[in-house]
Amino acid sequence: MASKAFDVVVAGAGVIGLSIAYTLKGIEPSLRVAVLGDPMNSLMASRAAAGMLAPFGECRESDRFFQFCRESLDKYPGFIQDLVSVSERPIHFSMMGSIMPASSVGEQWEERLRFFREESIPHEVWTVEQARERAPYLAPECGEVIWVGEGQVNNRQMHDALATGSVYRGVQIINQHVTGFHRYSNRIQAAVTDAGEILGKQFVVAAGSWSQQIGKVLEVSMPLRPIKGQMCRVAVEDGRLDYTIHGMNTYIAPWREGNGFVVGSTMEDRGFNEMVEADVIQGLVDRAAKILPCLKEAPLIESWTGLRPAAEDLMPIMGASGRYENLFYSTGHFRNGILQTPHQADYMAACLLGTLKNPITEFSPDRYDL
């Protein structure tokens, strides 16, 4: 069996695994870094997401999770600029913000505004007239809207750019899954794949929803499960909407550049279920069309399923293993992994290089004895 040797071996070729490899090589070009995993896995969350960078729409309290997401949003413009320049690939990225119509926010209107005020989150309340002027295709029933200053990225383009940029920086992407490990005492020596073994000094588990299966091979019990999301993309002309929309059980993300609008999404606890159900997709479009009526007749471009990696407490699992001296985790990014990518990559690179100053206890693998 062939074997290869690296300083760092990352299991998982989604945005999380690739961004760790990409960032590490940016800081320390002499490191030999490998990423294992299928970069085009059809269920992977990284290509299934809507690309909303939405700490303000998603979070309700100012806990460590919110702060981390917010810090990651702040890093986005620089991260994308660097990635486009290294990879020479285009990435659509917008900081036009999100809107929340009163018809969807309902009774939470005051509470939402209080949170935005207390946290000094950039926001505005648009009157019905202002909303009509700035987002003329919104349904009149939407009423007033709250605008918040957050972002959106084309996550597929970002994933492509991370793969290309990583390769340009010298990362080796090996399209093989980890099937086992060679261990000696509390040290991992090699990851085993069907194409041979990959020797490493440090290993990172960043395999999204499949991290739990890798945990099993390592004899750790990771409380992580896949939460299925069905979603679709419809053909709508650019210019119909400049903002992403957070609605009642629905969201709409314009991908622009002729790529139509993404409409999401379900949250289903059904294991590794890859089915895409036509009636569910129609339900998503119908709900979204109550906010943006032009979606009703928009031709369907594609529909899909992706799996969000969710830990029991819905927080990421990031940092050094307590069980193995050369093992690290970055998984459980659940609904916000695209948003968390840049900050997560810096955090994990610092972990691996031994320069991390303030480990976040809320995210620590220790909480699950990993």
Ligand X SMILES: Cc1cc2nc3c(=O)[nH]c(=O)nc-3n(C[C@H](O)[C@H](O)[C@H](O)COP(=O)(O)OP(=O)(O)OC[C@H]3O[C@@H](n4cnc5c(N)ncnc54)[C@H](O)[C@@H]3O)c2cc1C
At 209, is the secondary structure helix, strand, or coil?
Answer: helix
Of the listed pieces 26-34, 44-52, 181-189, 351-359, which binds ligand X according to CB under 6 A?
44-52
To the nearest whole angstrom, how small is the minimum distance from the Cβ of residue 128 to ligand X?
Answer: 28
By CB under 6 A, tell whether 316 contacts ligand X.
Answer: no
Residue 227, number of CB atoms within 10 A of its CB: 20
Q: Which is nearer to ligand X, 9 or 289 (CB)?
A: 9
Spatial distance between the Cα atoms of 265 and 277, rounded to a whole number of angstroms: 12
| Interface with ligand X (CB under 6 A), residue from 6, 20, 41, 281 | 41
Q: For ligand X, which is the closer residue by CB, 86 or 192? A: 192
CA distances from 176 to 13, 263, 317 (A): 10, 32, 23
Contact assessment for residue 350 and residue 81, using Cβ atoms and an 8 Å cutoff: no
171: exposed, middle or buried (C-beta count within 10 Å: 0-12, 13-18, 19+)? buried
Interaction between residue 104 and ligand X (CB under 6 A): no
210 contributes a contact to ligand X by CB under 6 A: yes
Q: Which is nearer to ligand X, 8 or 36 (CB)?
A: 36
Check residue 370 for interaction with ligand X (CB under 6 A): no
Interstrand relation of 33-36 and 300-311 (parallel, antiparallel or unpaired) = unpaired
Binding to ligand X (CB under 6 A) within 211-250 occurs at: 214, 229, 231
Site for ligand X contains 97 (CB under 6 A) = no
Binding-site member from 9, 11, 145, 236 for ligand X (CB under 6 A)? 11
Burial class (CB in 10 A: 0-12, 13-18, 19+), 248: middle
Residue 345 touches ligand X, criterion: CB under 6 A: no
Q: Is 55 in the site for ligand X (CB under 6 A)?
A: no
- DSSP state for residue 45 in the 8-state scheme: H
Tell whether residue 23 is a contact of ligand X (CB under 6 A). Answer: no
CA dist., res. 61 & res. 70, Å (int): 12
Tell the smallest beta-carbon distance from residue 51 to ligand X (Å): 5
Task: Report the amino acid identity of residue 314.
Answer: L
Within 8 A by CB and 6+ apart from 136, the residues are: none
How far apart, in whole angstroms, are the C-alpha atoms of residue 246 and residue 165? 32
Which of residues 8, 9, 13, 320 is near ligand X by CB under 6 A? 13
CA dist., res. 102 & res. 149, Å (int):
17
Per-residue tokens: 123: 């926001």
Is 49 a binder of ligand X (CB under 6 A)?
yes
38 part of the interface to ligand X, by CB under 6 A:
yes
Note whether 335 binds ligand X by CB under 6 A.
yes
**Binding-site string for ligand X from residue 251 to residue 290, where x marks contact by CB under 6 A and - marks none:** -------------xx-------------------------
Nearer to ligand X, 72 or 326 (CB): 72
Residues that bind ligand X (CB under 6 A): 11-17, 36-39, 41, 44-46, 48-52, 177-178, 206-210, 214, 229, 231, 264-265, 306-309, 331, 333-339
